Chain A
């Protein structure tokens, strides 16, 4: 696990803003938003499997967390990148990893982050009659 983390540190080098390792098998890394696609691709090439992505509204924008599991190792590393207001947007990792196609569409639905380069940004989880521009997971949303 240490060797994987060391390799990741070297590979991500200048893009890495901070890294915290709260336990032997969990790591949380903050990376430059502009280079998120490259960072995820690096970790993917090391043998990581993109488990899923989580969008969270924070003060400065929408934070998108990429959870990558290393099978055969206990490590789960979470890369996080910020999509700043007013028009949150990030580069799509689904161009490299088909497994991210659905989750990017979902985050677009529920939080309004647009993923540039995503081949198919149609609505996925919200109903057909859901109003445009209303994002249920943003703060201030009333059911």
Chain B
């Protein structure tokens, strides 16, 4: 059968990179794929070695706008690992609250966009509407909707007034109803089930081989959750479940994210129950020479930071590994053998930090160079498949 090349991209923002996918298809089936990144290479690691230790958190929270709490936390933990800092308890709880609120807003963002891809724009609009209270409370706590600048080496920058606790509880509780609604919808709606179940399976062995993390790994039955494995912030004092589903398809990844939202609400309540007044900053004066590793569970998976210090004011080397960096290559395992109509959804299923809806995508016939499809056509194909299934 004739093999056709379908390029998707390049304007598809990832953490540091937008990327360019090339799908090789035979008929409707994907037989191979290739990814080219670099469109978003900003040279953060090089820049980081020219900033002081205290300036770097502002830089790394701009690695990815949606993980803008997790990246600074991972970096700060790496530095605290070098300096052996004992962070005050109150600061640890405040960090945890912001991290979990971030998880709520990020997962809801993903659920909305997943709905958009399979042609349920109602889901998108509703979920994003219910996400707004979370954004508002983040703004109340940190001063910005998305760039928090909240954590610093040795603690946090701003305290939270106890007057705000009921507001935080209210905002967290407000998402429970909508999330349960989405869970029921996905579980009971035959069309949604059909579009998600058995699609884009990433087997457990493949997930391990590609070193994937986060909901992508937990949806494939791997027990990887930094919050449990190497507890940081206040996670060792909190009771929550690690959500693991075994089948590895888009349905499992969807469910993992939905249930993690519910866990996040539980965690926020526990933090507010346990938090006590006290100092919020350990007042770190200098960073000794040494190597430090820090990792944190961002909404998309483990973000890993490595810092080397020589005792001066700037890091010698700072390595950033964002979760999508390991999750995206696994497309090679999950897309091959699937229909083109499902690809948009599978690419979305690892949540590669996207605003996919507006990326440029053009499909060309390899032999003639004629333009066949645009990205919106891919989304249209995906939606038509939903309609076909609804008609059955």
Q: A residues engaging B (CB < 8 A)?
A: 22-23, 25-26, 28, 49-52, 54, 56, 65, 67, 69-74, 76, 78, 97-103, 110, 123-128, 136-137, 141, 143
Contact = CB atoms under 8 A, between A and B. Distances in A.
A124 B319 CA distance: 16
Given A25-B230, A74-B230, A126-B41, A99 B211 contact: yes
Nearest to A52: B321
Interface residues of B, number: 39
Q: Which of B38, B230, B293, B321 has the most CB of A within 10 A?
A: B293
Interface of B: 16-17, 36-38, 41, 43, 45-46, 81, 84, 208-212, 222-224, 229-231, 290-293, 295, 302, 304, 306, 308, 316-317, 319, 321, 325-326, 329, 332
Contacts of B231: 74
A137 B315 CA distance: 13
Nearest to A25: B230
Contacts of B43: 136, 143
B46 A99 contact: no
Given A69-B229, A124-B37, 9 more contacts: A54-B317, A65-B291, A69-B304, A71-B229, A76-B293, A98-B332, A99-B210, A103-B325, A126-B38
Contacts of B295: 51, 69, 76
Contact of B304 (A51, A128, A143): A51
A78 B291 CA distance: 10
A51 B295 CA distance: 10
B352 to A, nearest CB: 13
Contacts of A49: 208, 211, 224
B302 A98 contact: no
8 contacts: A54-B306, A65-B306, A67-B293, A74-B229, A78-B306, A97-B209, A103-B321, A125-B37
A97 B211 contact: yes
A119 to B, nearest CB: 12
Contact of B302 (A69, A78, A123): A69
A72 B222 CA distance: 11
A68 to B, nearest CB: 10
A123 B308 contact: no
A102 B306 contact: no
A73 B229 CA distance: 6
B302 A51 contact: yes
Contacts of A110: 45
A99 B326 contact: yes
B76 to A, nearest CB: 15
Nearest to A96: B209
A69 B209 CA distance: 14
Nearest to B322: A52
Given A71-B229, A78-B293, A141 B224 contact: no
Contacts of A23: 81, 84
A136 B308 CA distance: 18
Contacts of A125: 16-17, 37-38, 41
A46 to B, nearest CB: 13
B33 to A, nearest CB: 13
B323 to A, nearest CB: 10
B169 to A, nearest CB: 31
Contacts of B37: 124-125
A126 B210 CA distance: 22
Given A52-B319, A99-B326, A99-B329, A26 B81 contact: yes
B38 to A, nearest CB: 5
Given A54-B319, A125-B17, A126-B41, A71 B211 contact: no
Of A51, A74, A125, A126, the most chain B CB neighbours within 10 A belong to A51
A69 to B, nearest CB: 7
Nearest to A128: B38
Contact of B46 (A25, A69, A136): A136
B38 A123 contact: yes
B320 to A, nearest CB: 9
Contacts of B292: 26
Contacts of B222: 71
